[in-house]
Amino acid sequence: MKYAFYPGCVSKGGCPELYPSAVKVSEKLDIELEEMKDVACTGAGVLPQNISDPINARTFAKAERLGLPIMTICSTCQGVMAQANYRLKEDPDYRAKINREYLAEEGLEYKGTTEVKHLLWVLFEDYGIERLKPLIKRPLTGLKVSPFYGCFLRRPPEAITPTKDLNRRKSYLDEIIGIIGAELADISGKGKCCGFPILSANEENSLAMVAKHTGESKEKGADFMVTPCPLCHLNLDGNQSKAEAQTGKEIDLPILHLPQFLGLALGFDPEDMNLKRHIVSTDKVEKKVEMLS
């Protein structure tokens, strides 16, 4: 089982704890990763489509040449690439134009066969939950966990559910919390925006969203929140204290990346998963996890 690994900028930048956790967890699961180092940022929804589509087409063409599907660990990378891939796959004329105008010079061509999958989707659709279950050495029994998907793992439909039978993708994170033995602390905003995309344009609104989601999770008694999106993590973890200051309410909710959450259940120590690198202290979570060992 092998993937062209697209870690994304943030897993090596603002969330440097994510990349090594994802690599360790993949190794443990025998998921072989060939990291794509010579490809560009997806554009993250900031760069306009006329620029991001050609540079994403280049990434797909490179993976196609390797004969591997792409695995992402970021809802934003996933969503932006999936939307670009949808346009390129559905419209052969558009694909041909991009190939001709942008990729041909490098001797590349995208034939439209590359699949792009988030680690969360890989687990359910390729790896298999039955194969995962026996590897769970430390069920996180007694811990309450809120899911937070990141918009692009839920919408738009053509990026998530190109066929109707994939509708279940929208609940994978809820499911994995149960599979790992933790208790679901469900929140109404789990599929909503974390506010990160407008952090620069309107910080007040962005922080209001952080406060809303983390506050609700805290009220539901969650020990922590888990997210498959490092951009959500940057806002929910990194800016939680600002959100507290804005609303005047203490929140103090640790946010874990999906690979860290999986890693703890697979038996890794919190230290291996770099929990100390978060802005919101994870001490309480670590203590609870150590008591389970």
Partner 1 sequence: MQVTFKVYRKDPEKDGKPGRSNYTMDVPDGATVLESLFKIRDEMDPSLAFRCSCLRGHCGDCMVRVNGSSRLTCTAKVSAYTQKGPEIALDPLRNVPVIKDLVFDWDAFMWNKIRAVKPWLESADLPANGETLVPDAAMRDLRKVMSCYQCGMCDEGCTVLPVDFDFLGPAALTKAYRFVFDPRNQDKKERLKIVEKPKGIWDCVHCYEADEHCPRAIEPTKRIVALRDEAFRVGITNDKVARHHQSFAASVKESGWLDEGRLAVESEGLTNVKGLMKLLPTAAKALTRGKAPIPYMHTKRPDADKIKKIFEKAEQVEK
Smallest separation, CB 117 to partner 1 (Å): 19
- The tokens of 121 are what? 């989707």
Alpha helices in the chain (DSSP H): 18-28, 49-66, 75-90, 92-98, 119-122, 129-132, 157-160, 172-179, 203-219, 230-236, 240-247, 258-266, 283-292
Size of the site for partner 1 (CB under 8 A): 53
Exactly one of 40, 136, 179, 292 binds partner 1 (CB under 8 A); which one?
Answer: 40
Q: DSSP 3-state assignment of 94?
A: helix
Exactly one of 3, 4, 5, 17 binds partner 1 (CB under 8 A); which one?
Answer: 17
Of the candidates 178, 166, 170, the one whose C-alpha atom is nearest the C-alpha of residue 132 is: 178
**Cα–Cα dist 279/210, whole Å:** 14
Nearer to partner 1, 242 or 288 (CB): 242
Using CB under 8 A as the binding rule, whether residue 47 contacts partner 1 is answered as yes
Bin 67: left if φ > 0, else alpha if -120 < ψ < 50, else beta.
left
Nearer to partner 1, 88 or 265 (CB): 88
Restricting to residues 224-253, which ones interact with partner 1 according to CB under 8 A?
238-239, 241-242
Using CB under 8 A as the binding rule, whether residue 157 contacts partner 1 is answered as yes
Neighbouring C-beta atoms of residue 279, cutoff 10 Å: 15
Smallest separation, CB 30 to partner 1 (Å): 27
Using CB under 8 A as the binding rule, whether residue 20 contacts partner 1 is answered as no
Cα–Cα distances in Å, from 120 out to 16, 124, 230, 266, 275? 19, 7, 13, 15, 20
Using CB under 8 A as the binding rule, whether residue 212 contacts partner 1 is answered as yes
Smallest separation, CB 56 to partner 1 (Å): 10
Contacts with partner 1 by CB under 8 A lie at 9-10, 13-17, 37-41, 43-51, 54-55, 58, 101-102, 105-106, 151, 155-157, 192-193, 195, 197-198, 200-202, 204-205, 208-209, 212, 238-239, 241-242, 276-279
